[in-house]
Every structure is written in C-alpha cells, then in structure tokens.
C-alpha cells in the first residue's frame, strides 16, 4: 500500500469527516487500480486510468461500480496535484461511464404498517429495539449509518425533534411522529434492563459490537427476518427502502421538495428530485386507470 494513499485517506477522514465505510471503499478501489497498473503515482497517465476502466467493464463490473471507482481515483489524483506531488492530474479529463438512474424502490403504506404490526406483537428487548429503529427510520428518513449510531440524548421529547449527525458530520434537525417517540420511550425500559446498570452513550447499544452500538448488518438481518414474518418478500425490504418510503410517502402527501431535501440531509436538491419521478409515475398510472377517456374503447 502506497504511503501517499494512506496520507490521502487520513486527509479525507480529518478534513471531510469521511466514514470508515467510505475509507475502506477508497482504499480497496485505489489498491485495485495500482495492482492493475503496477506503476507509481508520478508515472500514471490518462491512458492508464482509461485502460483500467475498460478492464473493469470487460470483467462485468456495472457502470455504477466503475463510476464509483473512478470517483476515488479522481479524488486521489486531485489531492496529489494540489499537494504538488505530481505535475499534471491524469484523471482530470477521464469521463465517467453513463449510468441509468433507477427509480428508488419503496414500500406501500400498507406494507409499512404490516411490518409495524408484526414487530409490535413482540415483547422482548430485540422486538422493542427493532420497533423503535423501524419507526425512527421511517418517521425521519434516516440513513442506516445514522440510525445505528444515534447518541442516547439525540431526541428532544418536548419539541418532538431529533438531532442527526449525517455525512461529513453535518447536523440536521428532523421532526418525529408521535408513534415513533412512543416506541422509543417503550424501548428505553428494555434498554435499561439490557444494560444492567452499565453506561452507554448509544441509543441502540450492543454488548457484542466493537463500536458499542448495533451494527448495520445486524439491523439489516433483523429487518429481513421481520419481513418474512410479516408476509412481505425480504427482497423488497432493506434499510434504504425504508428511507425511500419516507420520502415518497411525504411527496405523495404534497410535502414540498425543499422540506424533504432538508429532512433527508441531501446537499443537492437534484438528489431529492428522483422521488418526484415516482410521484409522477403514480399520477400517470392513476390517470390511465381512472380517467373516462382511458376507459373508452
């Protein structure tokens, strides 16, 4: 592993607040590039990078994955150029492969309520914790990384708000529905029994995880198991699908796009606009189904 890569990773950790998941992905992508090229940073030119991308494509990598790897390479060589460790930036003019943006998958309100009904039928620590996590994610549109690492004091119960530290350690405040607050308060009693007078700064502590809080994988598995019990295909259910459902259902209820953007923690509103395509598709379907002219033979 090049010392320059580690120096770069230290920089984006310190200055941009990059998550451990992002750091691991950058490290893998950059290592893969250097294993392919076999040359030093100063020797790399634009053709070397383009050959690497062509090789990935031949090996069956998706356009999305290739674009992500190129993004890591671009950020790295931009860093080296700014630091004056290379004279020219070989990645500056490399074009990213075109990607079709698939519409986000989401659950219907009925499916969400089936999950809630099923999880609320349980009366143990795991069920109460999952209920609180499920409702917080759906009520507030949290990312799974934000959800699992919520501090214990993040909720203002009086104002019915939650403080979230998102990407790049950016803070945002999101309102919470009463049902989610109620579920968190019910779970807190089970949390105390689980901790057995031990202290934890996490809302969802774990005695097994190194981080001290429940892991994303554990929540993912719990959610999949819940979907099976609720009679919903586990292929349809994931933490990110719950976040998509939050945004889609709000827009269907005429909540303005800017408000949804702020609650999701999107820097660019174009990221949020993808959800308007879902709403537009639903409207087209409703017109085709219900308009008198659609019924005319």
Q: Do residues 148 and 164 make contact, with C-beta atoms less than 8 angstroms apart?
A: no
Quickly tell me which residue has 């392919």 as its tokens.
36
Collapsing DSSP states into helix, strand and coil, what is residue 159?
Answer: coil
Choose, from 135, 243, 244, 249, the residue flagged as catalytic. 243
Measuring CA to CA, which residue among 146, 50, 64, 135 is closest to residue 94?
50
Is 197 catalytic? The answer is no
Is 69 catalytic? The answer is no
Choose, from 143, 191, 244, 249, the residue flagged as catalytic. 143
Measuring CA to CA, which residue among 133, 148, 146 is closest to residue 173?
146
Cα separation, 179 vs 193, whole angstroms:
22
Cα separation, 230 vs 232, whole angstroms:
6
Cα separation, 257 vs 278, whole angstroms:
13
Is 291 catalytic? The answer is no
Is 81 catalytic? The answer is no
Choose, from 78, 85, 240, 262, the residue flagged as catalytic. 240
Cα separation, 47 vs 208, whole angstroms:
47
Is 28 catalytic? The answer is no
Is 191 catalytic? The answer is no
Choose, from 167, 172, 216, 262, the residue flagged as catalytic. 167
Cα separation, 26 vs 234, whole angstroms:
30
Which positions are annotated as active-site residues?
Answer: 143, 167, 240, 243, 266, 275
């Amino acid at each position: 592993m090049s010392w320059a890569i580690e120096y770069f990773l230290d920089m984006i950790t310190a200055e941009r607040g990059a998550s451990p998941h992002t750091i691991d992905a950058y490290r893998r992508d950059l290592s893969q590039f250097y294993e392919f090229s076999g040359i030093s940073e100063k020797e790399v030119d634009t053709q070397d990078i383009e050959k690497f991308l062509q090789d990935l494509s031949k090996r069956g990598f998706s356009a999305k994955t290739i674009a992500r790897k190129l993004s890591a390479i671009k950020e790295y060589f931009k860093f080296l150029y700014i630091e004056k460790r290379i004279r020219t930036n070989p990645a500056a003019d490399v074009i990213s492969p075109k990607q079709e943006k698939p519409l986000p998958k989401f659950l219907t309100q009925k499916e969400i309520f089936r999950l809630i009904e099923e999880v609320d039928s349980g009366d143990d620590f795991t069920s109460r914790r999952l209920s609180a996590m499920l409702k917080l994610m759906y009520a507030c549109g949290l990312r799974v990384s934000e959800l699992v690492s919520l501090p214990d004091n993040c909720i203002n119960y009086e104002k019915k708000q939650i403080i979230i530290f998102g990407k790049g350690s950016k803070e945002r405040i999101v309102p919470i529905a009463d049902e989610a607050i109620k579920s968190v308060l019910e779970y807190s009693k089970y949390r105390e029994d689980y901790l057995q007078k031990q202290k934890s700064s996490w809302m969802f502590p774990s005695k097994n995880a190194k981080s001290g809080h429940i892991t994303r994988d554990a929540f993912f598995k719990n959610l999949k198991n819940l979907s099976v019990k609720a009679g919903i295909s586990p292929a349809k259910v994931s933490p990110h699908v719950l976040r998509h459902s939050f945004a889609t259902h709000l827009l269907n209820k005429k909540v303005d796009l800017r408000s949804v953007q702020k609650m999701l923690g999107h820097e660019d509103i174009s990221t949020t606009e993808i959800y308007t395509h879902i709403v537009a598709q639903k409207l087209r379907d409703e017109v085709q189904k219900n308009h008198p002219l659609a019924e005319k033979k």
